[in-house]
Structure 1
């Protein structure tokens, strides 16, 4: 491969560059008997559940530290904003990791990327537990976030390996979204329990990650590889023969570092040149950031205004768990609408049809936030803002799932890179929200802090409607997006 082909292409050369990337990582014929798509459903779902639990565990780390921040302030004698770097840098790490771990798993296989990165995650938490200064803690959190991001980066790809087309993968992908939301919902109460236990303290926030992360690293050694190319190659070697698609897979791979570098650059190129992906990433960052903004307001809303204990206040965050569970049960309804739309469109699925139910439920963002804002002052039962948060816990994951499917449908040739391009700004904005929330609740009443977020979220409503009605036209201007 020439260096010229590895250089960032001009708009006119974009299609040729994509062809280079695809030739480097050729598709595998799904009709091959060894393809993971043909494995027994019980085996496929077992693998999906294991990796979803991994996602829950890593996502839990994003909020466990928040409840233990008072311990960190006392231990390191620092301000709230400085201590919050321990959380925000972890989130920044999850933004950096996908740009490298995703391409690495596409080139060499997913299994050992999982094992190696989660083992590294466990070891890095040892450093966080033993950190002698806040700066050391922040650095270890940043690196741990990057290592742990494999759960975000690769689980969606693993599901695609196992279930193939978007219809077959709809419910497993919904389980992935559920697992990503269970972790933060559980993490805050867990952090509070650790903070209140006199025999544990701040280091145990990280020692628990070491224990569970180490156990996962061992278990994942026994989970089979799912990257189709690697699986078919292994099957061909085992049987001593190869034909058809297997022959293509067995072709020697050269310059793997160059190929990984190219795929990595594609993620950043899409982020900078594809407005659809960029805007979805920005607004998903806002939606993800609500998680941390909510946590920053828990004390004011439920302890100060409603008289709950700190642990009881953190338990209100389980409304997210309830909301996302209901979302998982609702996904077949969206799948039915999508299939009906495809039938009416001559059998061709429109990416915009992924937003059919979101046209209604995206209104849940401003409604739930304004509902929360104007009932959180203690004048009514605390159950009112709890239920409002539960509504957001339903609408947010449903829209996130729609965004993931929309991007995968629109950028079929570079789907992994497009999703990475979508996630990078999402996590960076969420990291900023870790600090923005502190400022908002320090300088505004809880009511007006949440109301401000509610008014801003009307922009998200507008974005979804623009994509639904004008998405096909916008895709026609792109050199990368699917046109039909």
Structure 2
């Protein structure tokens, strides 16, 4: 590529990557709910590796942009499937909180460190941009090899394999956590357009429902389920739009990093990239605070007669969400270079603490609300679509903001917008039961923890 094409791709390629991340969960999430988690991981990352080769040795800028979109689609498995996998392995709602916190830590710390590595590679004349993609290829290959040796976690598939090994006939199994009422066990899950035989059998701590599955309807389910949930489920609609604006604010904040630290504070580009490490520190504090949220969740369950409320996932966020406007306003009014650059760095840490905690609360809330219907991954996928679509659409807005406004007022504008995020957290906490009652799927969200 020519230098001019590289400059154009600086904007178009990241935007299309974000849009690909929004599009991928639409079918990868439901597909993993249907056919299992393991091989969705493996196959998607194989394609991720293939298209990274194309970006490492591209013919022109359009090729980079298109391949970045496909890489975003394939890489979105990490967002659409991991939450469901954790839900598979940790059935009780209390047990899943800390593993989910580790996932959120990795999802936030990885890009922070990756930005520094990417900038160092780009500035090295002996390496260049192609080595960013070569490193992706190496890491992806190692990941694929490791995944091949890990077991499947989707309970339906696990029970099918177990019954097959024991020589019993079990053509299809829908898993339900033991302890539900009988009518819950015979509830005809919307994710399967099937003819059910009302035959129940107990498998230790689980109960199974035998079914006859229509393959055509399964394929139709994969294609439409996440999109259908995105437009018909009140929780997904409000939470997806809400998280979309939160993501957009975060992306716009990152657009201003170089203006603040390179131009206003005279740091080098690599030093400015190092300021992203405040996000690593912030999300590390999430790991430390998550046990507090788990304790609050358990206490709320006891007070509620032993029945967990998904809304209790927001108990800690009711306080920490104020870090959104606080961090943005703090950053805004210390970003002009008149104050030591450590002040906006600490402000970024406050934002880095508030955002992952809120994202973690929303993921746990969605899993709690939709796991009873066997649709946690599809729900996460439907939640991710508007989140990244809005962020991708607004990724160019930050460039215009910082070109036409000072860094102070560009960041302050984001601070004013973020006040709406604070309000929505309180709306979800106090009116969440009404939203779940209005849902055809989430109204069954009673989670056994025995």
Contact 2:109 2:279 in 1 (8 A): yes
Partner of 2:195: none
* Residue 409 of structure 1, aligned match among 365, 368, 391: 368
Q: Does 1:355 align with 2:284?
A: no
* Residue 133 of structure 1, aligned match among 51, 60, 63: 60
Q: Distance in 1 between matches of 2:434 and 2:33?
A: 31
Matches within 5 A, 1:326-337: 326-337=285-296
* Residue 221 of structure 1, aligned match among 139, 148, 157: 148
The superposition leaves residues 294-335 of structure 1 with CA deviations (integer Å, 9 ceiling, x where unpaired) of: 332111100111111110000000100000011111101011
Partner of 1:466: 427
Q: Does 1:316 align with 2:275?
A: yes
Contact 1:352 1:406 in 2 (8 A): yes
Cα gap change, 1:151 to 1:253, in 2 (>3 Å) = farther
Cα gap change, 1:183 to 1:433, in 2 (>3 Å) = farther
Contact 1:96 1:424 in 2 (8 A): yes
Give the number of the structure whose residues are more often helix, by fraction: 1
* Residue 326 of structure 2, aligned match among 367, 372, 377: 367
* Residue 190 of structure 1, aligned match among 111, 117, 120: 117
Matches within 5 A, 1:17-96: 74=3, 76=5, 78-79=7-8, 83-96=10-23
Partner of 2:29: 102
- Mean alpha-carbon deviation: is it higher for 105-114 or for 249-258? 249-258
Runs (5+) with no aligned partner, structure 2: 171-200
Partner SS, residue 164 of structure 1: coil
Q: Does 1:262 align with 2:191?
A: no
Partner of 1:3: none
Partner of 1:230: 157
Q: Distance in 2 between matches of 1:250 and 1:117?
A: 30
Q: Distance in 2 between matches of 1:238 and 1:407?
A: 34
Q: Distance in 1 between matches of 2:160 and 2:440?
A: 33
Partner SS, residue 167 of structure 1: coil
Cα gap change, 1:245 to 1:129, in 2 (>3 Å) = farther
Contact 2:243 2:387 in 1 (8 A): yes
Partner of 2:253: 294
Partner SS, residue 442 of structure 2: coil
CA-CA distance at 1:376 after TM superposition: 0.8
Partner of 1:175: 102
CA-CA distance at 1:89 after TM superposition: 0.8
Partner SS, residue 457 of structure 1: helix
CA-CA distance at 1:253 after TM superposition: 5.8
The superposition leaves residues 423-480 of structure 1 with CA deviations (integer Å, 9 ceiling, x where unpaired) of: 1000111112321111111111111111100000000111111121222233333333
Partner of 1:39: none
* Residue 201 of structure 1, aligned match among 120, 128, 132: 128
| Structure-1-length-normalised TM-score | 0.80
Contact 1:270 1:277 in 2 (8 A): yes
CA-CA distance at 1:248 after TM superposition: 8.6
* Residue 301 of structure 2, aligned match among 314, 331, 342: 342
Partner SS, residue 482 of structure 1: helix
Matches within 5 A, 1:413-424: 413=373, 414-424=375-385
Cα gap change, 1:278 to 1:347, in 2 (>3 Å) = same
Q: Distance in 2 between matches of 1:107 and 1:258?
A: 11
Cα gap change, 1:250 to 1:358, in 2 (>3 Å) = closer
Q: Distance in 1 between matches of 2:424 and 2:129?
A: 41
Q: Distance in 2 between matches of 1:86 and 1:225?
A: 34
The superposition leaves residues 165-206 of structure 1 with CA deviations (integer Å, 9 ceiling, x where unpaired) of: 221111001111111101221121111101111111121121
Contact 2:30 2:226 in 1 (8 A): no
Cα gap change, 1:377 to 1:399, in 2 (>3 Å) = same
Q: Distance in 2 between matches of 1:330 and 1:221?
A: 34
Q: Distance in 2 between matches of 1:77 and 1:356?
A: 46
Runs (5+) with no aligned partner, structure 1: 1-71
Partner of 1:142: 69
Partner SS, residue 439 of structure 2: coil
CA-CA distance at 1:78 after TM superposition: 4.6
Q: Distance in 2 between matches of 1:269 and 1:108?
A: 19
Contact 1:233 1:249 in 2 (8 A): no
**Superposition RMSD in Å:** 2.2
Q: Distance in 2 between matches of 1:313 and 1:109?
A: 42
Contact 1:107 1:256 in 2 (8 A): no
